[in-house]
Structure 1
Amino acid sequence: MGLITPGLGLIFWSALGFLIVLFLLSKYAWKPILSALDEREKSIEEALKSAEIARNEMSNLKAENEKIIHEAKIERDEMLLKASETAKNMIEEAKSTASLEGKKMIENAKVAIETEKLAALEEVKVQVGILSLAIAEKLLKRNFSEDTAQQALVEELVNDLKLN
């Protein structure tokens, strides 16, 4: 049974060696390893906090962007509505101006036509007067001593008037 159970000296020296290694590791290796682990843990915690802060900022920025986009759409719609109303007003104003101008032109044309009509009537009156004077002149030049000559002259003038 000696092979299965170790001797007391072997246990002593193994325990002494383990304690020396444990002392050396705790003195020189565990402090740097633990401090490195602590630093790593702190950096991971800081990274998680930074990620959470960034996530919050991103959600805030997204919400703000959506709000800005919504406001821009509302403003765009208002501007389009104002532009549409302005265009309608300009069209109505142009129509009314054109209508007024058209009425003025028609009125001016009527006045011009009336003026031309009156001038033409005056011209006709002048021509009638000239013709009447010419007829009177012809009548006076002829000799009215004979009744047959007077009768022939009257018939000739009546025939001339019917032809014209």
Structure 2
Amino acid sequence: MQLVTPGIGLLFWQTITFLVVLFLLSKFAWKPIMKALREREDNIDAALTMAEKAKLEMQALKADNERLLTEARAERDRILKDATDAATTLVEGARTKANEEGQRMIEQARVSIQNEKKAALTEVKNLAATLSIDIAEKLLRRELQDEQAQRALVQSYLQDTHLS
């Protein structure tokens, strides 16, 4: 039974050894251990603070990115609208110019047709006048072949002409 119950001397020496180890630990090891624990605690606090700052910076960057993305979308929409408006204006301008050019060409064609028509009518009139003169000349030659007919014609012209 002696193994189970400790003796008084053993308890005394264990207590003395414990106190000596406790004294030595408190004198030499306790301060460095506590210092290391405080440094570790400070490092952990600093890391948590830095993590919190990084989190806040990430949120700020995310907000900035969202704002820039929104601005870029608005700019893209504005550019697309301007390009569409410019294309519409260009198409309308080209259509108007084409219509004006078509109207101008039609008007030129009308004027050209009128001029050609007048020229053709003038030519027909000239041809008719020439033919009339030729026919009249031939008729007069045939009728005025004798001298008596020529004198009658001259007398008739003189009577039609009144000399004042």
TM range (shorter): 0.7 to 0.9
- Show the counterpart of 1:6: 7
- Show the counterpart of 1:81: 81
Q: CA deviation at 1:143?
A: 4.9
Alpha carbons of 1:22 and 1:143: their partners in 2 closer, same or farther (altered >3 Å)? same
- Show the counterpart of 1:125: 125
Q: CA deviation at 1:115?
A: 0.5
5+ residue gaps, structure 1, are 147-164
- Show the counterpart of 1:157: none
- Show the counterpart of 1:47: 47
Paired letter, 1:36: A
- Show the counterpart of 1:111: 111
The number of aligned residues is 145
Between the aligned partners of 1:14 and 1:130, the Cα distance in structure 2 is 162
Q: Helix, strand or coil: the match of 2:7?
A: coil
Q: Helix, strand or coil: the match of 1:28?
A: helix
State the superposition RMSD in angstroms: 2.0
Between the aligned partners of 1:108 and 1:140, the Cα distance in structure 2 is 47
> In percent, how many aligned pairs have the same letter?
51
Q: CA deviation at 1:53?
A: 0.9
- Show the counterpart of 2:57: 57
Between the aligned partners of 1:75 and 1:59, the Cα distance in structure 2 is 24
- Show the counterpart of 1:92: 92
User: Which has the larger displacement, 114-123 or 61-70?
Assistant: 61-70
Q: CA deviation at 1:109?
A: 0.9
- Show the counterpart of 1:141: 141
